[in-house]
Amino acid sequence: MTDYIYNSHGSAVGFIRGKYIHDISGNAIGQINGTHVHKLAGSYVGELHKDMVVNKHLGNYGNIGHPGNPGNPGSPGNPGNRRAVNYGYPDVFDELLK
Say if residue 79's pLDDT is above 90: yes
Contact between residue 39 and residue 45 where contact means Cβ atoms under 8 Å apart: yes
> What separation in angstroms does the CA of 89 have from each of 5, 38, 54, 78?
15, 17, 6, 24
Q: How far apart are CA 93 and CA 89, in angstroms?
A: 12
- Provide the 3-class DSSP secondary structure of residue 60: coil
Domain count, the chain: 1
pTM of the model: 0.92
Q: Stretch 2-9: mean pLDDT, rounded?
A: 96
Say if residue 89's pLDDT is above 90: yes
Its domain, for residue 93, covers: 3-97
* Percent with pLDDT over 70 in the chain: 100
